[in-house]
Amino acid sequence: MQPEVCRFVGFVSAVVGLLCYALSSSFNHLFGHWNFLKIFIYSCFSFIIIFMTMFAKVWKFSTSSTLFKTRMAVLVLLATTVYSYFYDKAVNQKPDAYIVISCAAFAFMSLSLSKQSQCGCEVDLLNFFLGCLTLLLMKINLWLFFVGAGFSYSLIILRSSLDATPQSGFSTDYIAIQVDSQEVNTNSVIQVDSKHINTDSANQMNLQQVNGALTVTQFEAYVSELNVEDSRIIHNFDVYLEDKVVTDDNLLINLLPKETINNLQEKVKLMVTAGFEKECCHVYSSCRKQFLQKCIFQLQLTKSIRDRAQRGIRFPHRVPRWIRLSQIALRILFPCERRLCQNIFYGFSAALDLSFAEVCRELTNDILSFPNKLAIEMYSLDDSGRYLGRILSSCLTVFQTLGDFIPEFESVFSDDNIYSASLKNEAITSWKRLGETIGLIFMELENHICRDMAQKPVPNGGIDPITYHVTSCLNTIFDGRDTHEQIFKEYLIPMVSGGDRKRRSSSCSTLMVQIMENLEAKSKYHTDPALGYVFLLNNYRYILLSGKDELEIILGDDWFRKHTSKFQKNLEDYQRTWDKVLDILKLDGNESAESMKEKLKLFNKEFKEMCIVQSTWFVLDEQLREQLRIPIQENLLQSYGNFIARFQGHLGKHAYEYIEYGMYDIDALLNDLFHGSELRSSKTGKHSPSKAALREKSD
């Protein structure tokens, strides 16, 4: 029943038969003594016989091939007849053991051929060699006839048990057909023994079912052997992938034994021919799906792929793992499986297409689950929008990567069939859906900015949360600006109405216009104009510094220069808020001592209040703090020093009774501005100034 056993028996029998016949006395009597030409011719003849025996295939013939089988039977009959004539003419003595062994071996060879091929002459060869063997035994001793008869009977019965269907070129069952010759042109009557046909068909069907069940069992056994080889490959799969940056579709073919692949190929032919195509595809695809999942697990890329998709937004570091998974699947595993299917299912395109698609479907779904999850559930923002940057970054990265992988999907699933087309279309659909989602994110961001205008700004003039989010989005857009422009043109513009569509030249410029309007509106909520200026300066500075390169490239130099000018104007406006303190220190030419006492008292009050308030304000950038503080510090210390020197000239030593802040105290208090903490009472309370400092300034 095993093709491998039949092939091995035929090979060994052919070798033994040819060697023994070459050594027999019959060969010498028939062809003469050996010489170089005879050795060469006999070797070529032997090689052909052995090759045909070793690589004989199961050939299936239609009804039109009956003529071919008949001709083969006639050819064998004539060849054996001519051989018998010359053999009987040349040999008159008793045969030796070599010729007897060669006939028995050739009989086994014919038995093997009858199992492997259906040319219509195998049974005739078997009968001929069995007849020759019986005749040779009778020449040795007549009683050996029973040995030859028993041996012949055993081989014929063995062959019948291996295959119940007729193997010769002629059928042994006949159907009787009677036709009324007188009415042949008008009415023909055909009588068929239907009972005989139905019985024969039932027997043949039962035989096919039994043979099919045995074939499925044998195929499962070979697939089990494939699982053993897979375990060896999986154990070292990470080693095989080293330095493989391009597709290597021969990896599995080179690693699997050729004998295993050939055995599977033979069994696939038998199963598909017997009508067990679906069972064959199911057994094979189940085995290969397990292999793919184990390979991915070996690379530590499958720690719950679907869980990663559910939590991918909050853990964007999982995106590189998804990219690695997709690269290995599309560039290594899928091409290798395709090549393996082409070898095993050679000649059966329908089974090949079905099996390959089923092998890749589960892993393809795992790859697409991540972008599908991003597209379906992860674009809505909470009130703070704190995940916006990571959402957009993950979506843009996955969108760009999946777009790069679309040609890989089209190459791997390039066959023109419904199975490959469905997987390819699923990838394209996921990619487009994710692009639409990114467009919705931009629209949601604009809506979020508009809603945020009604929110009160941060109380200490610090960076507004929306500034963080928009700047984060700008950095993300800059990293994938080509992808962003594609999404903007294909998905974002078609979502808006006609009037808004004309207004939009770039989603980035629209966002920046909205965020600047948002910040300016929020700055007006501050009752203290100075705090409004600090708020704008803080946010402008953060935007211009964090996205300087991005803004210049995406929005252009004009936009950057325009808002740099706005920044400088707000800086000057803030410095003018200190004019009310500096104006107190201005002196006339005939300023009296009493007037200076009142001015100093008013200065101490105003300066103290401004320092207490502005020390609670927060400026993130140290350079901006210096830009705000140094001009005030220079002007204030100069005016205050001149005022104190003149005040001392009027009152002398009694002036210290009215001076609350020394020069170093003024400098220290100004240094404490914009750190977001209140002044300590020890720094703001009335105390005696440093006399050395005052004397140094007065001088």
With CA atoms as reference, report the closest residue to 678 among 579, 611, 627, 620: 611
Average pLDDT, the chain: 74
Give pLDDT tens digits for 499-516. Answer: 444 334 456 777 778 888
Cβ–Cβ under 8 Å, residues 423 and 357: yes
How far is residue 330's CA from residue 409's CA, in Å, rounded to a whole number? 7
What gap in Å lies between CA 420 and CA 404, rounded to an integer? Answer: 19
The C-alpha atoms of residue 635 and residue 641 are separated, in whole angstroms, by 10
Q: What is the DSSP string of 624-638?
A: HHHHHHHHHHHHHHH
pLDDT of residue 671: 92
The arithmetic mean of pLDDT across residues 234-256, rounded, is 66
Banded pLDDT at 673 (limits 50, 70, 90)? very high
Residue 169 pLDDT: 35
**pLDDT-derived band of residue 581, with 50, 70 and 90 as boundaries?**
very high
For range 565-594, the mean pLDDT? 90
Residue 5 confidence (pLDDT): 76
Crossing angle (nearest 10°) for helices 529-546 and 557-576? 150
Q: Residue 482: is its pLDDT beyond 90?
A: no
Residue 618 has φ and ψ, to the nearest 5°, of -125, 130
Q: In the structure, what pLDDT confidence band is assigned to residue 3 with cuts at 50, 70 and 90?
A: low
Query: Is the pLDDT score of 610 beyond 90?
Result: yes
Neighbours of 487 (CB within 10 A): 26
Q: Does the pLDDT value for residue 372 go beyond 60?
A: yes
Q: How far is it, in rounded angstroms, from Cα 304 to Cα 669?
A: 58
d(CA 360, CA 368): 12
b or e along 206-229 (b: 16 or more beta carbons within 10 Å of the residue's beta carbon)?
Answer: eeeeebbeebbebbeebbeebeeb
For 630-654, what is each residue's pLDDT tens digit?
Answer: 999 999 999 999 999 888 888 888 8
Query: Which of 698, 512, 521, 542 is closest to 620 using CA atoms?
Result: 542
Average pLDDT value for residue range 132-152: 80
pTM of the model: 0.56
Tokens for 285? Answer: 């695809």
Rg (CA), the chain: 48
626, two tokens: 């210096």
Model pLDDT, residue 638: 93
- Whether 207 has a pLDDT exceeding 50, the answer reads no
Q: What is the pLDDT of residue 49?
A: 81
SS3 at position 493:
helix
Q: Which of 438, 452, 565 is nearest to 507 (CA)?
A: 438
What is the spatial distance between Cα 178 and Cα 189, in angstroms, rounded to a whole number?
Answer: 7
User: Quick one: how far is CA 695 from the chain centroid?
Assistant: 78
Q: What is the pLDDT of residues 418-475, one digit of tens each?
A: 888 889 999 999 998 888 888 887 777 777 777 776 677 788 888 888 788 777 777 6
Q: Minimal CA–CA distance to 686: which of 579, 577, 600? A: 600
Is the confidence at residue 376, as pLDDT, over 50?
Answer: yes
List all residues 6 or more positions away from 523 whose beta carbon is below 8 Å from its beta carbon. 457, 532, 533, 535, 536
In 10-64, at which residue ranges do the beta strands (DSSP E only) sit? none
Rounded to an integer, the average pLDDT of 249-261 is 81
Average pLDDT for 218-222: 77
- The pLDDT, as a whole number, for residue 487 is 66
**Tokens representing 352?**
């090949």
Six-digit token string for 373: 């999850």
Per-residue model confidence (pLDDT) at position 279: 87
Residue 629, burial from CB neighbour count under 10 angstroms (0-12, 13-18, 19+): middle
pLDDT of 670: 93
Closest listed residue to residue 621, CA positions, set 546, 520, 680, 554: 546
Looking at residue 629, its pLDDT comes to 93
pLDDT band at 602, cuts 50/70/90? very high
pLDDT for 304 equals 43
Q: State the DSSP code for 432.
A: H
All residues at 6 or more sequence positions from 110 whose CB lies less than 8 Å from its CB, including other chains? 122, 123, 125, 126, 129
- Reported as a single tens digit per residue, the pLDDT across 349-362 is 888 999 999 999 99
Asked whether 215 and 276 are in contact (CB, 8 A), the reply is: yes
Long-range contacts made by residues 641-646, C-beta under 8 angstroms, separation at least 24? 641/697, 641/698, 642/585, 642/587, 643/585, 643/587, 643/596, 643/599, 643/600, 643/603, 644/694, 644/697, 644/698, 645/697, 645/698, 646/587, 646/591, 646/596
> Residue 387: pLDDT band by 50, 70, 90 thresholds?
low
State residue 427's pLDDT score: 92
Contact yes or no for 18/128 (Cβ under 8 A): no
Residue 8 corresponds to which tokens in the numbers above? 């091995």
How do residues 269-289 score in pLDDT, each as one tens digit? 888 888 888 888 998 998 888
Share of the chain above pLDDT 90, in %: 17
* Rounded distance between C-alpha atoms, residue 17 and residue 461, angstroms: 103
Mean pLDDT of 208-230: 68
DSSP state of 618: B
Rounded to an integer, the average pLDDT of 50-71 is: 57
Alpha helices in 299-387 (DSSP H): 305-310, 319-328, 334-344, 349-377
CA 397/CA 323 separation, integer angstroms: 9
- In whole angstroms, give the CA distance from residue 89 to residue 30: 9
Task: Tell me which residue of 584, 615, 612, 610 sits closest to 597, measured CA to CA.
Answer: 584
The answer to whether 339 and 251 have CB atoms below 8 angstroms apart is no
Highest mean pLDDT among 200-204, 433-437, 553-557: 433-437
* Lowest mean pLDDT, pick from 117-126, 215-224, 449-458: 117-126
